[in-house]
Amino acid sequence: MQIDPSIKSRPKYVAPELVASAGLQLFVSESDAGHLLEPLYRQCSESGAQWLVAEPGNAPGTLADSLSGYLQRVLSDAPVTTRLYVAGSEGFLWDIRNQALSAGLVDEQIQLAPPVTKARRLFCTHCYTLMEGVTSSPHTCSGCGRLLLVRDHFARLHGAYVGVQINAEDPEEQLEQEVLQ
Amino acid sequence: MSIDSIPVRVMAIEQVAPLIREFKLEAIEGKLPAFSPGSHVQVIMPGEAREIRNAYSLCSDPAMPRRYSIAVRLQEDSRGGSSFMHGEVNVGDELAITPPANLFAPVMAARKHLLIAGGVGITPFMSYIPELKRQGAEFELHYLYRGSQTGAYLDQLQQQLGSALHRYDSGQGNKCDLSTVLSDQGPGTHVYICGPESLIEGVCSTAKALGWPESLIHYEAFAAPEPGEPFKAQLTRSGKTLDVAADESLLEALEREGIAVPNLCRGGVCGQCATPVIEGAVEHRDEFLSADEKANGGCIMPCVSRAAGKHLTLDI
Ligand code: FES
């Protein structure tokens, strides 16, 4: 199978910049990614800014309940002029972004910092299992055991890259491992 | 390409505010096309010196497309359009309109709709409101008017909307504090403004200063083309040269010569009428072209823009 290396769906990330006029400056990060938002946070007045921190390594596809519930409450009281800055692993960024969208925010209000690791969240297109921290391809699905090619195709809804079985014809075939960039 | 016109008959005329008249229109043959909330039509008027075309929002319920309503404010410095509608049009008369087009549709996915109307700018919202109500959408209307001139449909709106209607009669000294109205809104609120340029500017600049995302701000201005200096337009394709009078737009002059230019808004926002310029400086008055495109000068929006000098050569 030929995979186009310039595949469009892979998100591009740039370092967030503070949007000075905002009714609420909201920062959300995993605990090991705070340094990416720190300089922005320091430019804000205390009254207009809030920071929520999560422990990294949550269950795939679900934010820790406590953070998710708290974010929900913050967003439901937030003004339309809210700006949201997110830092952490790639899956986390998109979980937060998706939760913000369902609270009514639009992408224009949300900035995602470059992910702190190259590890990917992987979505098995055969059994729909989500796996965290995938660093090389192919990868054996923890759900169905198939050997998955990790594609650059990114599903925003899951915050995950798509994995498709690579050795369907000959499950015995050995394949070279490639480190993901 | 010219837009087909639909012949209509004026069924009723009602004075809905001291300076605003509502015209109910029905098809002379067959049915009028269905339309979506926020749509407008152009009315093609046989003016004294030349044909006049003005765009008016449909202000009736889109669920009842059998007849259209438009409301026309008499403009003091009318270029002929509104004074024609107020002075010359009677019940039973025939008019020609273009099929409805929509440059100002509500975003149905919005969490809430914040409608801000100035004067006769209430008209597009008259087609929004029945639809928003049917959808069970959350909305509020802030209506700025001057009771001695405008303020159409107030009783009807008061009855339908109750506390969702906020009225500001500038004649009574009631001011709308835009910054309060715009600050008190939650995520996913879309704001829509229709009214004079000054109101649109005021809302946009206040919203931006507060940090509103631009994608949530929508507005519609139907500014009639401002007059300017007369100039000559030379047309390379047809080999014609035409004189554009001080009080007519380049688009109107082209139409007068039988040269059809696609157009929807006739107010410099939709981009339909873009026409390539070969030579001559342009006084850009539209909101469609970017600053770069304006500086480059290769294109003009003839519905509002004019020659900066005495002549223009157009690739048309
Ligand atoms: S007709 Fe819309 S920009 Fe000219």
For each of the domains in chain B, give its residue range(s) and CATH number, in order of start.
6-100 (2.40.30.10), 112-220 (3.40.50.80), 231-314 (3.10.20.30)
- Please report, for residues A2, A3, A161, A162, the alpha-carbon distance to residue A6 in angstroms, rounded to integers and kept in the order given: 12, 9, 15, 15
Residue found by looking up tokens 């055991």 in the block = A145
Considering its fold, how many domains does chain A have in total? 2
Residue A69 domain boundaries: 25-112
Going by pLDDT thresholds of 50, 70 and 90, the confidence category of residue B78 is: low
Q: Pick from B188, B210, B215: which is nearest to A81 by CB?
A: B210
Q: Which residue has the higher pLDDT, B3 or B238?
A: B238
pLDDT tens, residue by residue, B188-235? 999 999 999 899 999 999 999 999 999 999 999 866 777 889 999 999
User: Which of A112, A128, A144 represents a domain boundary (last residue)?
Assistant: A112
- Does residue A72 lie in a domain region? yes
> Which burial class, exposed, middle or buried, applies to A138 when counting CB atoms under 10 A from its CB (0-12, 13-18, 19+)?
buried
Q: Which of B188, B210, B215 sits opposite A21 (nearest CB)?
A: B210
Looking at the fold, whether A29 and A105 belong to one and the same domain comes out as yes
Q: Are A123 and A164 a contacting pair, CB within 8 Å?
A: no
**Which residues of B131-203 form beta strands (DSSP E)?**
138-145, 165-169, 189-194
Cβ-proximal residues to B93 (8 Å cutoff; 6+ apart), any chain: B9, B10
> In ligand 1, which atom is closest to the CA atom of B304?
4
Mean pLDDT in residue range B238-254 = 91
Same domain, A160 and A90: no
What's the full length of chain B, in residues? 316
Taking all residues of chain B, what is their mean pLDDT, rounded to a whole number? Answer: 93
Ligand 1 test: best mutation among B102, B255, B270, most atoms within 8 Å of CB? B270
Amino acid at residue number A121: R
DSSP SS3 for B139 = strand
Sequence-separated (6 or more) residues with CB below 8 Å from residue A4 = none
Distance CA(B227)–CA(B247), nearest Å, equals: 5
Among B266, B275, B289, which residue has the most ligand 1 atoms within 8 Å of its CB, making it the best to mutate?
Answer: B266
- Supply the pLDDT for residue A45: 81
Q: Does ligand 1 come within 6 angstroms of the Cβ of B297?
A: no
Sheet with strand A49-54: strands edge to edge: A49-54, A24-30, A82-87, A110-112
Q: B233 is written with which tokens?
A: 């337009």
Encode pLDDT of A8-38 as tens digits.
688 999 999 999 999 999 999 998 899 999 9
The CA-CA-CA angle for residues B288, B294, B297, to 5°, reads 125
Tell me how many degrees the CA angle A120-A123-A125 measures, rounded to the nearest 5.
Answer: 145
Q: Is the pLDDT of residue B170 over 50?
A: yes
Residues A149 and A74 grouped into a single domain: no
Beta-bridge mates of residue B41: B56
Higher confidence at residue B80 or residue B261? B261
Token output for A105: 């925010």
pLDDT at residue A3 tops 80: no
Please indicate, yes or no, if residue A47 is contained in any of the structural domains: yes
DSSP annotation of A9 reads: T
Last residue of a domain, one of A82, A112, A142: A112
Residue A28 pLDDT: 94
Q: Which among B124, B196, B146 is positioned nearest to B19, based on CA atoms?
A: B146
Mean predicted confidence (pLDDT) in B36-55: 88
Examine the domain organization and report whether A126 and A50 are in the same domain: no
A131 in the same domain as A82 = no
Instruction: Tell whether the model's pLDDT for residue B72 goes beyond 80.
Output: yes
Q: Does some domain include residue A128?
A: yes
Last residue of a domain, one of A112, A140, A157: A112
Q: Is the pLDDT of residue B275 over 70?
A: yes
State the burial class of residue B238 (Cβ atoms within 10 Å of its Cβ: 0-12, 13-18, 19+): middle
Report the predicted TM-score, pTM, of the whole model to 2 decimal places.
Answer: 0.87
B23 lies within 8 A of chain A by CB:
no
Q: pLDDT tens across A119-159, in order?
A: 999 999 999 999 999 999 999 999 999 999 999 999 999 99
